[in-house]
Amino acid sequence: MKKIFKIILFCLIFFVVIICSNINSAFAFDDDGLYYENCNKSILILNDAIQPFKIENRFRSGLLSNTYSDNYAGSYLDDSGLLNIGYVDEVELPTYDNQVIYVKKDYSYNLLLEIQNAITCKMIEYNVSSVALDEHSNEVDVCINDQESRNLLISYLKEINLFFSDAINIIIESENEIIPHKKTAYGGDTINDSVMFFLYSYGTICVNAYDNDTGKYGVLTNAHVADANTTMYHNGNFLQGSKLGIATKRQHSGTIDAAFVPFEDQDNWEVTTHARMGDDVYNNIKLGSRELIIQGAPVRRLGQTTGNTTGHILSTNYNCNISYDGVPTIITNTIKYSTDSEGGDSGGPVYFNGGGQNLFLIGMHFAGPTDPTIEYGVGCNIFNVIDEFNITPMLNGTIYETTDLNENEIRIDKLNPIIPISTDSVSTKFVIPTYLNGKIVTEIGEAAFENQVNVTEFVLPDYLKMIRNSAFKNCSNLTSITIPDTVTHLDSNAFENCSYLQNVTLSNNLTSIGNSAFKGCSSLSNITIPNSVTYLDSNAFENCSYLQSVILSNNLTSIGSSAFKGCSSLSNITIPNSVIHLDSNAFENCSYLQSVILSNNLFAIGNSVFKGCASLGNIILPSSVQHIDSSAFENCTYLTEVKVLREIADITHLGEKVFDGCSSSLQIIVPQNRLAEYKNKVYWSSYKNKIIPDNNHFDDINLHCLVENSENVSLNVGCNKLYLLNVECNKSYKFFTNSNTEIIIYDENFEKLYTGENILYSYLSVGTYYLDIRYKTSTISGNITINYELRWKHNGEQVYYNDEHNLLTHLHKTAEGTYLNKLYYINNKGAGFYKFYLNGAGVDGASIMYEAGSITIYNESDGLETQVLNKYPNSNTLASSDDGQNIMYVYLPRNGYFYINILMPSNNYEFLKCTISSVESEVIDLFNLSESTNDEVPILDSETTKGDYIKKIYLEQAGKFTVDYSYSGLQSNEILFVLSKLNYNSSSNTYSIETLISQLMDGTNDTFTSTLNLTDGIYFVGYFNKDDDAAFDVRFNRLVTQYDSTLLYTDPDAYTDCGSMINVYEQDIVSYNRSYRSTTIVKGFTRVIYFKANQVTQASRQDYYWYSNDESVATISIHGTVLGVGIGTVKIMAVNIDNPSIVFVKEFTVINDSNVNDDEIVYEISDTHNINDGTYKLGLNVQNSPFPMTQYYTWEVVSKSSSITSVTIDAWGNVTIDGTGWIIIKGSDYVYNPKYSVVLNLIVENE
């Protein structure tokens, strides 16, 4: 294209555009349409028709004589357009539906060709102006200047045996010669040189052409038109016309007269495939073929002087003798045609004219006869020009294959020649025309410039809109490209494998970059994607291994698969916020990629997007990312930190192997509240141990056996709340909310344990858990109250008697600085005072300071203050420890449940234990005291314990005592001294405390004495509220006013009721020899004690308490009956009930049975029973049995009368009888002596 138009040229181009619409009329069939139709058919079958005559697969050429067999006599088109083929000898040939006429000839084509070649060699010597093959006439036509030369030529031919008179037509034309037309023009435009202001010569341009050697465009004309070193112009002199340039290729010898004139300024000329002449424009011109050069074929020639002329081929192999500047030159193998020609026509195109819309270039006119009466022309065979010059004519389908897009726009579909390496520069610049064939080039078609490996720079058309697939693919030496702002689309593979491409400037109006557009551009170092681009297609910059910097469009919405795959020098990338998709493999194997900033609106990261990015150390995944597909970050071996920001539902979905092969120290940081969900979600769970929260400080909830609390949380749409649960007690807990919520509990490893809606029950062992709260519907926001408590109300941990109970396990924080442990104690030791003891140490072994209320004892489970026990019944001293007190004595009034609160300021102790035990006890056994004098028993001997102190006294026997108690300190607060007795009511199975002494004492009121009659039993003695270490003393003095063992005697005589020793054991001994008043007893038998009535105030045994000092030897009943139960010596004590200072003690000896005979000894009893009286009771007594306790025997029915149907007897001697008659019942296996038995003979009557 010319960038600067001169007025005259502009008008011409404008005119061309205007008339293009009428182009078809120039080629429509006229009245000779049948002729042209036949011509075209003949051309199509020519090769097949002459194939039987060929001996070598080459088309005919004037210099070849071995192409055809000698039977071939030439071919031509007749006046009807039918193909005529000559033959010498008869042969059977195909008819081709009468399209071929076979003609018998005399001479073969080979012979005629041999004659022509022989004459051609002598043309100058014999003044031959031309020699041509006439295949129609079957002869060689020779034009010669004179008769003498004719005779010489004939002699020469005879000499070489090639003279056949019928085969040679010699014409003497002394006035005519063939000359080149020096003043020439070309079809449509004139080409001329210029001397100053004058046109020196002119000719006709044949065609625009492309030099395959230099890669330059220019025009083709005759060598004699474009003289050597002469600047040629277009349509005028140097002032009026436009400079073309100087011919770089010229030749007028051999087979051609031709010159190639390249455009001096390649950028300023518009290349065209069109031709024009006058008002006619020819835009459907193609390069012909050798088959079209056949004698008789119709032709059209354009010449600047004669214009548009038509005719037919006269000879396809015409050799002529032409003088160039006085030098004769033989030009061979030219075309002779019947169109008239004149000076100025030289260089014009010669077309095969098939009568249709297309013209086919077959020759370039260069000569004609000087005789104006002779009309013919001579042209170079265009294929000889192409071969000699290595040029390509600019025709449809030669240089550029094009497609008209509309009346104003055209697409370049293909550049046919390979652009050569520039010979005058280190770079090869190729300008793609902005205009072609009078139309604007708006598209570069698919693969149009593919594999143009020699070009270093393409200059693209100014109005280009689209670059289609593979347009510049494999242009491996292309170094830079600037895509004009008119381009909106860059299709797939456009610059693929332009491996030396270093600089790319993209159109600012580009909307998309196609698949693999710059794939394999391994020298490209940087690229800026303009903001007009919204889509970057797959593989767009794949394997751009030197690409270091990429600036992406701010309006980009998607990055296609493998777009930057293998860009191994890329160090950082910022994905603009407009991008919502990263397709598969987008940055795979970008091994130097160290920094990635992702779009805040990114929705999905495709498969293997960052796979193999071995230098990437960290990545932040925005909250917008909902999908990360398989292997997205696989083998990112340096990746140590991934921060996931998505916190709202639904959390980011993960594919397989996303982080496989990453650094072993990889940490995946997720929002704290979604930690459990990420750890459990499919495929995320593969990296469970690498997932950590973005904040390790969870809001925590402490769960324990005392908990009853709630939390309030405000949730935005799609959010949740994750709490840390510190479970301190193995319990079942209840969680419930005030909203439509989902509740989830995870264990410490974030395995899901429980789920529920609005309410959740869960049994949790001691440990760490997580509680997840969220709305069931993720579109809801608002405030949630989550309540948590024990599923079943807890009354505390059980503490056992005399067991050190670890308090730290359940010492729970209930308020700031307050730690509580609730205990319960099931008392089964009876009513009485118990010692409650806290024992602990700080973590450093330091002593613990116990605050007031460290121990509090409750009577009821609700723990109300009103239910706090008193330390001592009927006092105002509550069972709650004082400041600094860790031991407390409390009276428990019954068996059953009691509740204990342990309250501490901390739980940071080495150990802390609670023990409930009996108080210190002492047994007072009067058998161990003097039987005849007063005796002292120290109870509290200088006791210094601060606070409270209680001692339990087991008084084995009743007695009379004085109680002395004293305090040696100076305490101003009152000390409470108590002496009390524990009483049991068997009818109600209850205990009560009887206060015998209750005395307030202080430093000025410190010594007291009391005299008391004390029965045997349990007593408690001690004090409360002593603040110091001063001594406290308590002493019991036992008083004795009467004593004498002789005042007691046993089994006095035969007239007194005696024990079984007399009545049973000695029943076989005469009465006066029995052991009356003896203190010896046979084991299993009894004696009865009596008082000497005249020597004691009260002689009734009922007035005394009876005691045995060893009940394993003998027992004593309340009636004074002594039973020997073991071997040994035993003392029996009688204490007067009214005056316990009266005490009598008697000693007995229990011996074994002296009867060595092991035979059973039976005592028989007879009795009668009226059946109407109901159950019969066995009547044992010391008169009929060793000891009258039925449970000491084993009972059985020995026999019975048949009238009695059934008899049963229990261990207590109750007999049930059915019927009347007699029964024998036996009691054997007496517990103390098995050889003694009792037999009952019972008569059962019915009134």
Task: Give residue-wise pLDDT tens across range 219-229.
Answer: 999 999 888 88
C-alpha of 191 from chain center: 74
Q: CATH no. for residue 1214? A: 2.60.40.10
pLDDT at residue 23 in the model: 30
Digit-coded pLDDT (tens) for 560-573: 999 999 999 999 99
Q: Give 1166-1212 as a DSSP string.
A: EEEEEGGG-SEE----TTTSSS--GGGSEEEEEEE-TT--EEEE-TT
* Total domain count, the chain: 8
| Residue-range definition of the domain harbouring residue 416 | 399-544
pLDDT at residue 956 in the model: 96
Which whole number is the average pLDDT over 274-286?
Answer: 84
pLDDT at residue 275 in the model: 86
Is 61 among the domain residues?
yes
Digit-coded pLDDT (tens) for 1019-1038: 999 999 898 999 999 999 99
Is 649 among the domain residues?
no
Digit-coded pLDDT (tens) for 870-922: 998 878 889 999 998 999 999 998 888 999 999 999 999 999 999 999 999 99
pLDDT at residue 873 in the model: 85
**Same domain (yes/no): 259, 388:** yes
Is 550 among the domain residues?
no
Place 760 in a pLDDT band, splitting at 50, 70 and 90. Answer: very high
Return mean pLDDT, the chain.
88
Structure tokens, 49: 């028709």
Which whole number is the average pLDDT over 1059-1077?
Answer: 91
Digit-coded pLDDT (tens) for 1137-1154: 999 999 999 999 999 988
pLDDT at residue 465 in the model: 95
Which whole number is the average pLDDT over 166-183?
Answer: 67
Residue of higher predicted confidence among 407 and 723: 723
Host H or E run for residue 308 = strand 307-324
Cis status of the peptide bond prior to 650, with omega within 30 of 0: yes
**Same domain (yes/no): 213, 304:** yes
pLDDT at residue 30 in the model: 41
High-pLDDT (> 90) share of the chain, %: 63
Phi, psi of 18 (to 5 degrees): -65, -40
Cis status of the peptide bond prior to 485, with omega within 30 of 0: no
With contact defined as beta carbons under 8 Å apart, do 496 and 470 qualify?
A: yes
Strand partners, 698: none
Lowest model confidence (mean pLDDT) among 38-42, 108-112, 915-919: 38-42
Structure tokens, 1178: 């066995």
Which of 544, 577, 600 is the last residue before a domain boundary?
Answer: 544
Digit-coded pLDDT (tens) for 1001-1020: 987 888 999 999 999 999 99
pLDDT at residue 239 in the model: 57
pLDDT at residue 6 in the model: 27
**Same domain (yes/no): 114, 144:** yes
- Choose among 871, 916, 919: nearest CA to 893: 871
Whether the predicted pLDDT of 480 surpasses 60: yes
Terminal-to-terminal C-alpha distance of the chain:
158
**Same domain (yes/no): 62, 208:** no
The whole-angstrom separation of Cα 294 and Cα 352 is 10
Which whole number is the average pLDDT over 775-780?
Answer: 92
**Same domain (yes/no): 199, 334:** yes
Whether the predicted pLDDT of 1051 surpasses 90: yes
Whether the predicted pLDDT of 183 surpasses 70: no
pLDDT at residue 338 in the model: 93
Whether the predicted pLDDT of 9 surpasses 50: no
With contact defined as beta carbons under 8 Å apart, do 855 and 881 qualify?
A: yes
Which whole number is the average pLDDT over 827-836?
Answer: 92
Strand partners, 1147: 1131
**Same domain (yes/no): 883, 945:** no
Biggest CA-to-CA distance, the chain: 214
Strand partners, 938: 1035
990-1001 and 947-955: which strand pairing? Answer: unpaired
Q: CATH no. for residue 1055? A: 2.60.40.1080
**Same domain (yes/no): 336, 214:** yes
Which of 1151, 1186, 1214 is the last residue before a domain boundary?
Answer: 1151
**Same domain (yes/no): 422, 374:** no
Is 15 among the domain residues?
no
**Same domain (yes/no): 942, 890:** no
Is 381 among the domain residues?
yes
pLDDT at residue 1118 in the model: 92
- Count of alpha carbons within 13 angstroms of residue 71, beta-carbon side: 12
Place 7 in a pLDDT band, splitting at 50, 70 and 90. Answer: very low
**Same domain (yes/no): 311, 368:** yes
pLDDT at residue 685 in the model: 94
- Choose among 365, 385, 125, 377: nearest CA to 255: 385
pLDDT at residue 178 in the model: 56
Whether the predicted pLDDT of 60 surpasses 50: no
Which of 1151, 1169, 1197 is the last residue before a domain boundary?
Answer: 1151
Q: What is the DSSP letter of 1006?
A: -
Burial of 229 (0-12, 13-18, 19+ CB in 10 A): exposed
Is 899 among the domain residues?
yes
**Same domain (yes/no): 187, 301:** yes
Q: What is the DSSP letter of 53?
A: G
Is 445 among the domain residues?
yes
**Same domain (yes/no): 44, 131:** yes
Is 288 among the domain residues?
yes
pLDDT at residue 386 in the model: 92
Which whole number is the average pLDDT over 622-627?
Answer: 95
pLDDT at residue 525 in the model: 95
Whether the predicted pLDDT of 1107 surpasses 90: yes
The whole-angstrom separation of Cα 571 and Cα 575 is 13
Is the backbone of residue 589 left (phi > 0), alpha (psi -120 to 50) or beta?
A: left
Place 1068 in a pLDDT band, splitting at 50, 70 and 90. Answer: confident
High-pLDDT (> 70) share of the chain, %: 93
Q: CATH no. for residue 938? A: 2.60.120.1050
Q: CATH no. for residue 861? A: 2.60.40
- The letter for the amino acid at 980 is S
